[in-house]
Amino acid sequence: MPSHKQRILMAARGEMPDLLPYVPRIDLWYNANAAFDTLPRQHKGRTQDEISRAEGWALHKIVPEFLNVSKPEDSLHRALGLYRLKEMVFDFRFSKEIEIEVKNEGDYTSVFYHTPVGSVSTKTMYSDEMRRSGASITWIEEHILKRPKDYKVVGYLFENLTLEPSYERFREWQKYVGEDGVPGTIVGLACSPMHHIQKEFLDATDFYFHYSDYQREMRALAQSVEHFFDQALTMIAGSPAEMVLWGANVDDMITYPAYFEKEITPWIRKASGVLGGKGKVTVVHCDGENHGLMDLIRDSGMHVAEAICPYPMTKVKVEEYYRQWGDKLTIFGGIPSNILLAESATEEEFEAYLDHLFKVIAPGRRFILGVADTTPPNAVFERLIRIGERVEKEARLPLAGGAFRPLPGSATPEATTAAAVLSEPAQHEFDGVREDVVKGRHKDIAAHVKALLERGLSAKQILDRGMLDTMQAIGVKFSAGELFIPQVLLSARAMNEGLKVLEPYLAASKREVTGKVLVGTVRGDFHDIGKNMLVTMLRGVGFEVKDLGINLSADVFVKAVAEYRPDIIGLSALLTTTMSEMGKVIEALKRDGLRDGVKVIVGGAPVNAKFARDIGADGYAADAGQAIDLAKGLMAVKG
């Protein structure tokens, strides 16, 4: 009988194993339940791998254990995207001229890099709360790129980095995993040098501004990081590793199609070419929304798309993945994590999902069954066991459920060019300002707004007809998936620059603020890209918005409501485990007698209208474009 390892490798290489490989990732679930002492009785006292082995599951060893390092120094340079892990086949060394200073304060670690061309610093955090929620990697509190002059210093760090093989350490790791899985290796968490800058060196939202504002510096820095990527690729090519995780967090919003094609595809192709030539398999962690990237991923050259998290958690159904990709790359995943939660799916729905899955992925070639992105802490453990049992009984390959008919991939929706955003013809006078907003020309807009004021147009007219309705139209395009995050952020920034010129005139004519909104991400949750979008868009259409930040307890929200007296409070959550915090905020508002004075709106990928109703919120919006209408509607009701 083939081993787990043999089955996984066969599926990854497009061959047909005897049985569908089942490789559930349980790190997050394990870390959180071990911390709370809530592991299932039969597994108490066991390690994560002992549990998988006891259940007869393959070990998921593709994503490294970032926190499982032999000494703290091994993860000291995490904010540079440099790790020393047992899963890695190389070690790195900074040049001798670089002086490194470390300061530890409670949950925070600051690292200062003093180089001959200047100094830079980073700050990372790992709190008890993160430990309890099972977080598998520390949080970057302060990124390395703070000012334009930092680019040169970071470039210096990477140009002078030396890599040397650590194949023996990796062989030890391989020995430990044995035939129970395929131990993967990594360069880091990015698919390319630019993606590395995006993921590690800047805040998720700031990246898009830097990418637009400092193009020359960015490109030069990407070249310096390339030096590291090239060395790493050579080391991996000569290493004993059989599977290589080539980057993570692919998502059609964050790594939007034009960006993916320009900055990511060439490197996946290069890595797959070099590594494929050595018989190795490249795996990319595609845990986000892949709808807008279906063709690009399919044609990127990657061998395995891992952490595939289908509908109902994202837009693409599992059958769609199999139809579009099944003849070209291996799909690793297929079980959306919310199907494992009692509150999201009944037993019948869970079983029905599996019935459907086994049918639509027939004959089962190029498929590795896994939980994407990972098993949540509050998953019903018996469901993981049940999947394993059903695989044993029903997933001998080839599966007989249906015919395999790969379809040619549908065309990726073209990113609308900024100029085409506005469908209705604009009034001639406002054309310049409208175009500045659409194209995100934050440096030009002030002059254009001034020119209109000089020509006698009122500030209110310029605001309403030149800017607000443009922003509203952008919101609609964003909701329709025709515009992507960076375009919206750049437009909103331009809009705010224009607004600065108008403010004194608007104040004189007593412009009414649309409403006051307070926004934040709930406790335990560090996701802020969607929340930042919401803030930007609401400001863009005239709301006064206070952004409270991330990881906020109910009491922080309540205190801010008492102080700021907003009309609306917007709560964001991206994790099924943190959604319940939203209900706690509402309860705390009631407790302090503040609930009646404020409308509560909620959002974030796992949230839906039913959930919003259940916790007693006043509204839900699926994206920031729809949130504008929601907020405006609530203001109208408030009167």
Query: Where does this chain bind ligand B12 (CB under 6 A)?
Result: 28, 133, 135-137, 204, 249, 251, 253-254, 287-289, 309, 314, 337-338, 372-374, 376, 485, 524-531, 533-534, 570-572, 574-577, 601-606, 621, 623-624, 627
Query: Shortest gap between Cβ of 521 and ligand B12 (angstroms)?
Result: 8
For 44, the token pair is: 């108490």
Distance CA 299, CA 264 (A): 12
Query: Shortest gap between Cβ of 134 and ligand B12 (angstroms)?
Result: 7
User: Which residues are 124's β-sheet partners?
Assistant: 109, 140
For 435, the token pair is: 């175009």
Amino acid at 367: F
For 456, the token pair is: 């006698």
Distance CA 34, CA 46 (A): 9
Nearer to ligand B12 among residue 98 and residue 137 (C-beta): 137
Query: Shortest gap between Cβ of 606 and ligand B12 (angstroms)?
Result: 5
- 620 Cβ contact list (under 8 Å, min separation 6): 601, 602, 603, 607, 608, 609, 611, 612, 630
Query: Shortest gap between Cβ of 526 and ligand B12 (angstroms)?
Result: 4
Q: Which of 483, 411, 476, 407 is nearest to 625 (CA)?
A: 476
Cβ atoms within 10 Å, residue 420: 12
Q: Which of 143, 208, 63, 103 is nearest to 536 (CA)?
A: 208
Nearer to ligand B12 among residue 341 and residue 459 (C-beta): 341
Query: Please, are residues 312 and 340 in contact by the beta-carbon 8 Å criterion?
Result: no
Query: Shortest gap between Cβ of 250 and ligand B12 (angstroms)?
Result: 8
Within its chain, how far is the Cα of 80 from the centroid?
A: 18
Nearer to ligand B12 among residue 486 and residue 606 (C-beta): 606
For 49, the token pair is: 């791998």
Q: Is 602 helix (H, G, I), strand (E, B) or coil?
A: strand
For 338, the token pair is: 């919310």
Distance CA 623, CA 220 (A): 35
Q: How distant, in Å, are the alpha carbons of 84, 87, 358, 575 from that of 69? A: 8, 10, 38, 26
Nearer to ligand B12 among residue 160 and residue 205 (C-beta): 205
Q: Is 332 helix (H, G, I), strand (E, B) or coil?
A: strand
Nearer to ligand B12 among residue 433 and residue 602 (C-beta): 602
Distance CA 98, CA 57 (A): 46
Query: Please, are residues 529 and 485 in contact by the beta-carbon 8 Å criterion?
Result: yes
State the distance between the two ends of the chain, measured CA to CA, in whole angstroms: 71
Query: Shortest gap between Cβ of 340 and ligand B12 (angstroms)?
Result: 9
Distance CA 145, CA 143 (A): 6
Nearer to ligand B12 among residue 438 and residue 534 (C-beta): 534
Nearer to ligand B12 among residue 317 and residue 396 (C-beta): 317
Nearer to ligand B12 among residue 115 and residue 479 (C-beta): 479
For 371, the token pair is: 């939980």
Query: Please, are residues 192 and 266 in contact by the beta-carbon 8 Å criterion?
Result: yes
Nearer to ligand B12 among residue 224 and residue 337 (C-beta): 337
Nearer to ligand B12 among residue 274 and residue 622 (C-beta): 622
User: E-assigned strands of 116-257?
Assistant: 118-125, 139-142, 162-165, 184-186, 243-248
Nearer to ligand B12 among residue 506 and residue 630 (C-beta): 630
Q: Which of 85, 90, 25, 86 is nearest to 60 (CA)?
A: 25
Query: Shortest gap between Cβ of 316 and ligand B12 (angstroms)?
Result: 11
Query: Shortest gap between Cβ of 389 and ligand B12 (angstroms)?
Result: 24
Largest CA distance in the chain: 83
- 576 Cβ contact list (under 8 Å, min separation 6): 337, 338, 341, 344, 376, 378, 606
Nearer to ligand B12 among residue 338 and residue 458 (C-beta): 338
Three-class SS string for 84-139? CCCCCCEEEECCCCCEEEEEEECCEEEEEEEECCEEEEEEEECCHHHHHHCCCCCE
Nearer to ligand B12 among residue 459 and residue 538 (C-beta): 538
For 240, the token pair is: 């004993």
Query: Shortest gap between Cβ of 275 and ligand B12 (angstroms)?
Result: 24
Q: Is 521 helix (H, G, I), strand (E, B) or coil?
A: strand
Query: Shortest gap between Cβ of 333 and ligand B12 (angstroms)?
Result: 8
Query: Shortest gap between Cβ of 375 and ligand B12 (angstroms)?
Result: 9
Query: Shortest gap between Cβ of 548 and ligand B12 (angstroms)?
Result: 12
Q: Residue 258: is it exposed, middle or buried by C-beta count within 10 angstroms (0-12/13-18/19+)?
A: middle
Query: Please, are residues 301 and 262 in contact by the beta-carbon 8 Å criterion?
Result: no
Amino acid at 557: F
State how beta strands 162-165 and 90-93 pair: antiparallel
Nearer to ligand B12 among residue 327 and residue 544 (C-beta): 544
Query: Shortest gap between Cβ of 372 and ligand B12 (angstroms)?
Result: 5
Nearer to ligand B12 among residue 432 and residue 570 (C-beta): 570
Query: Shortest gap between Cβ of 73 and ligand B12 (angstroms)?
Result: 22
